[in-house]
Amino acid sequence: MRPLIAGNWKMNGVGESLAEICAVAQWIAETGPNADIFIFPPFTLVARAVVAASNRIGIGGQDCHALPSGAFTGDVSAEMLADAGATAVIVGHSERRQSCRLTDAMVAARTTAARRAGLLAIVCIGETAEQHDGGLAQNVVIAQLEGSIPPDANSTTTVVAYEPIWAIGTGRTPSLEEISRMHSCIRAQLEGRFGEDGSRLRILYGGSVNTTNAATILAAPNVDGALVGGASLRAGEFAEIVGTSTGSSSLRSPFAL
């Protein structure tokens, strides 16, 4: 499966940060990595990022409202993102689930909105530290998967990102065995629900992916890419992770790291 590497900038980036996107786009033009590459800058940069990416990187929003328009101060709809040139959107990121008190049903409605607007939805799921330590991770993830992915989802409109909350921004990652076990559990659920297409639906791992651990994580079975936070902010690190995903050492990043 062609890997998908996504950079989530979170609430980081101003105009001058677009130079990082230009640098990644330039690197892609020179090396032609065999991967789908997306960057999710803050809303304020989406339209300019689309220009900077020169069609080499997909640009997306970090969330969207379920409705196309209305009296929802501070929200942005999937249609607005598409209008700004975005081709994807992250929905149900744990930081949004928490700050906006999103339920699985609300995440599913946003996933549906993404499809309505023609955006690829990256749907995030993942357990808390307490749930992990209590041995509840698989049950939690199965329930989130069931509730957050609408029945009409398919492998061309939807990507799943497994992000254990305790691994986000902490420098801690699950063991390779834990990642493999969870990803095969997610795969089994997707196949159970969507049949053959469930085996084509990409499952990303996210949570403290960096240049050191990316190769090992991306080589694990049923890991079809990565959602990268902190390490996506600098072109050199991000390009190196993308190069790793293609399994080609010739794609090492040319940037000083």
Candidate list 20, 95, 163, 237, residue with the active-site label: 163
Question: Please, what is the minimum distance in Å from the beta carbon of residue 8 to ligand PGA?
Answer: 4
| Side chain identity, residue 18 | L
| Element housing 160 (H / E) | strand 158-162
* Contact between 61 and 89 (Cβ < 8 Å): yes
Candidate list 93, 95, 132, 183, residue with the active-site label: 93
Binding of ligand PGA at residue 240 (CB under 6 A)?
Answer: no
Phi-psi region of 199 (alpha: psi -120 to 50; beta: other; left: phi over 0): alpha
Binding of ligand PGA at residue 179 (CB under 6 A)?
Answer: no
**Is-catalytic flag, 183?**
no
d(CA 52, CA 54): 6
Torsion of CA 184, 186, 191, 193, to 10 degrees: 160
Binding of ligand PGA at residue 230 (CB under 6 A)?
Answer: yes
Applying CB under 6 A, what is the total number of residues that bind ligand PGA?
13
Question: Please, what is the minimum distance in Å from the beta carbon of residue 19 to ligand PGA?
Answer: 20
Question: Please, what is the minimum distance in Å from the beta carbon of residue 93 to ligand PGA?
Answer: 6
Tell me, residue by residue from 190 to 219, as one string, x for binding to ligand PGA by CB under 6 A and - for no binding.
Answer: ----------------xxxx----------
Helix, strand, coil shares, percent, the chain, to 5: 45, 15, 40
| Side chain identity, residue 166 | W
Interacting residues with ligand PGA between 150 and 169 (CB under 6 A) = 163, 168-169
Q: In whole angstroms, how far apart are CA 188 and each of 103, 181, 200?
A: 23, 11, 12
Interacting residues with ligand PGA between 52 and 81 (CB under 6 A) = none
Question: Please, what is the minimum distance in Å from the beta carbon of residue 165 to ligand PGA?
Answer: 9
Cα Rg of the chain (Å, integer):
17
Q: Catalytic residue numbers?
A: 93, 163
The footprint of ligand PGA (CB under 6 A) covers 8, 163, 168-169, 206-209, 227-231
